[in-house]
Amino acid sequence: MKQEDPKDFAQAPGDRLTRAAGKQLAIYALAAVAVLVAVMFVLNALAGLTSSAAGMSRMAVDVENNIITTYLRDEPPQMNSMLASDAVSGMVLAHVMEGLLRYGPDDELVGGVAERWQQEGNTVTFWLRDDARWSNGEPVTAHDFEFAWKNVLDPAVGSQYAFILYPILNAEQANNGEVPVSEVGVDAVDDRTLVVTLQTPIAYFERMVAYHTYLPVNEEFHRQTNGRYGADADEMLYNGPFMMTSWVHGASMQLEKNPYYWDAERIRLDGINYAHMTSDASTLLNLFKDDQIVIADLGAEMLEEAMLQGWTLNQFMEGTVFYTDFNHRPERLTSNLNLRKAMALVHDAGELVNRVIKLPGYLPGKSLFPVWLPGAEETFREEYPAQEYRRDITKAKEYLQAALDELGLDRLPPLVLLTGDTPVSRIQAEYYQEVFKRNLDIDLVIDAQIFRQRLEKMTAGDFDLVASGWGPDYNDPLTFGDLFASWNLNNRGRYSNPALDAQVRIAQSSLDMEERMRAFGEIQRIIHDDVIMLPDYERGYVYVTHPQVRGIRRHVIGAETDFTNAWIDAGE
């Protein structure tokens, strides 16, 4: 036998061992593939247990079964209308439930369970239609509303949205535990008549009634669920156009047309399949391109591709206004009006939106009141155009000098800008840092925090400036208008001004729409003159929809994406 160096005997080309080993490895690879295939069969069976097969491998539009497939941005924390506080739950609730009133396809108020309603002084009477049914066939009665509303106000329930019922007599007192819930001014006179007594007559109550906290709940059923109401598809009763037939947490949700819905003829789809729960924009676009979902929102980098594909682009103002709030507590430098004015004269929302954020659908902010809010006749902003500051560095420097003189300072110490941890809030904060440093030599310290920590710091007043946002709860300027009232707990900068408070009171209590709008106009002016905050942007989306699906509506209030009026146009 020839002498070999043990170090390289295995590598010698054509060596017997290498060949034998190669053969062994090939056999081994084959075995591995076989094992993998076997494992996959087992996993397939396992996966069947952890998800619903119904939601799978279906195209976006199922013409045969008249079903569309789409997505939810997030897993809804819960479908209990009395506790839900987020947009995703609100959107699903708008499909499976119906309140006394609802918003029609063009955001006009129409009767839901209520056939007609009437307000006389501080008494509002709702007459319920006799063909409204729960998904178990029982009639929807006035008692279902009385139960739900009183339950929301029960302090032991701890509903975050209880405040939206506060116009009702004794509601706030009951929610504070001062009077028993039974004293609240809601009374089911009989099965089909609901009488609501208001604290004071207000003009916008019917607009609030369309909000999901006002939805009915069947008391008997609620008791049976034993505290799990709204936690699963079978832990709920539905009275809306659709009913939920399956809910795989974090994965999918299936809605089927509700045969008991009184206006079932209006509903043209037989089902909605929320097959995915994700907020990842590129995943959603990929799903849309693969014909798996009927709608997708687009990011900036996706616009070009959308144009290339020849898709029809739609735009939608989502409703939220983003602004930079000042800390008005007297010990803070930002309580100085001249300093705020100086900053307002440097701030340029147009530059922020068009050259920094650059996301499609965003509008430069001009006011606390967004463009879509209704006024007395036209939109509010058409009736009362927003005043704006034009960038003027020279004047800004004068105001800054005046501020420094008043404060007795030579140079402004660094200001803290509290902000969130999302990409948009980061680039926005860095932009402000740059702009204020370059033009006014003001140093901003960025304090980026996750949502809950930011909230705590906002409540504690631990900031000079804070990036804030406010979304509407109902379709009236008051949903924004009372934000800087001295008593509002959401007024985190603790702004306090009797003149503004007086206007808020007029807007709340007047029954004359013109007078109310004048008050909002006045509030808008005070916010501008007193530089209570700097408007940044109004958020909007650019989105694409499946060419075969018509009638998709997107609402600022209620269902963000509304399929109740949608239908499949198989001709396309």
Partner 1 sequence: MWWYTLKRLFQGVITVWFIATATFIGMHNVPGDPLSGDRATNATIRANLEARYGLDRPVTEQYFIYMRNMLRGDFGISYTQQNREVNDIIREHFPVSATLGILAVLFAAMGGILFGALTALFRNRLPDYIIMFLVILGISVPSFVFAALSQLSLVNMNNVLGFSILPVAGWGTVSHMLLPALVLGLGTMAYMTRLMRSSMLEVMSSDYIRTARAKGLSPTRIFSRHQLRNAVLPVITVLGPAIAAITTGGFVVELVFAIPGLGRYFVQAVQQLDYTVIMGTTVFYGAFLVFMVILVDLVYGWIDPRVRLQ
Residues 439-498 that bind partner 1 (CB under 8 A): 449-453, 455-457, 459, 471, 488-490
Q: Is residue 247 near partner 1 by the rule CB under 8 A?
A: no
Q: Which stretch binds partner 1 (CB under 8 A): 77-85, 363-371, 524-532, 553-561?
A: 77-85
Q: Report the residue from 60, 67, 78, 147 that binds partner 1 according to the rule CB under 8 A.
A: 78
Q: Binders of partner 1 among 100-159, rule CB under 8 A? A: 155-159
Q: Which of 487, 104, 68 is nearest to 271 (CA)?
A: 68
Shortest Cβ distance from residue 524 to partner 1 (Å)? 22
Tokens, residue 477 = 């300027």
Shortest Cβ distance from residue 249 to partner 1 (Å)? 6
Q: Is residue 308 near partner 1 by the rule CB under 8 A?
A: no
Q: Binders of partner 1 among 517-546, rule CB under 8 A? A: none
Of 175 and 338, the one with the shorter C-beta distance to partner 1 is 175
Of 111 and 271, the one with the shorter C-beta distance to partner 1 is 271
Spatial separation of the C-alpha atoms in residues 483 and 526, rounded to whole Å = 13
3-state SS, 58-122, equals CCCEECCCCEEEEEECCCCCCCCCCCCCCHHHHHHHHHHCCCCEEECCCCCEEECCEEEEEEECC
Spatial separation of the C-alpha atoms in residues 393 and 256, rounded to whole Å = 59
Q: Is residue 38 near partner 1 by the rule CB under 8 A?
A: no
φ, ψ for residue 238 (rounded to 5)?
-115, 145
Q: Which stretch binds partner 1 (CB under 8 A): 134-142, 272-280, 430-438, 510-518?
A: 272-280
Shortest Cβ distance from residue 89 to partner 1 (Å)? 10
Amino acid present at 191 = D
* Residue 163 neighbours by CB distance under 10 Å: 18
Tokens, residue 226 = 């034993």
Q: Report the residue from 65, 136, 176, 200 that binds partner 1 according to the rule CB under 8 A.
A: 176
Q: Which stretch binds partner 1 (CB under 8 A): 69-77, 199-207, 369-377, 410-418?
A: 69-77
Shortest Cβ distance from residue 518 to partner 1 (Å)? 27
Q: Which of 147, 154, 152 is nearest to 218 (CA)?
A: 147
Q: Is residue 250 near partner 1 by the rule CB under 8 A?
A: yes
Q: Which residue has the tokens 């503004």?
A: 500
How far the first Cα of the chain sits from its last, in Å, is 80
Amino acid present at 399 = Y
The angle at the Cα of 542, spanning 539 to 548, to the nearest 5 degrees, equals 140
Q: Is residue 303 near partner 1 by the rule CB under 8 A?
A: no
Shortest Cβ distance from residue 496 to partner 1 (Å)? 16
| DSSP tag of 133 | B
Of 472 and 477, the one with the shorter C-beta distance to partner 1 is 472
Instruction: Compose the 47-66 pattern: x for residues touching partner 1 by CB under 8 A, - for all others.
Output: xxxxxxx-xxx---------
φ, ψ for residue 277 (rounded to 5)?
-125, 100
Of 141 and 479, the one with the shorter C-beta distance to partner 1 is 479
* Residue 297 neighbours by CB distance under 10 Å: 22
| DSSP tag of 242 | E
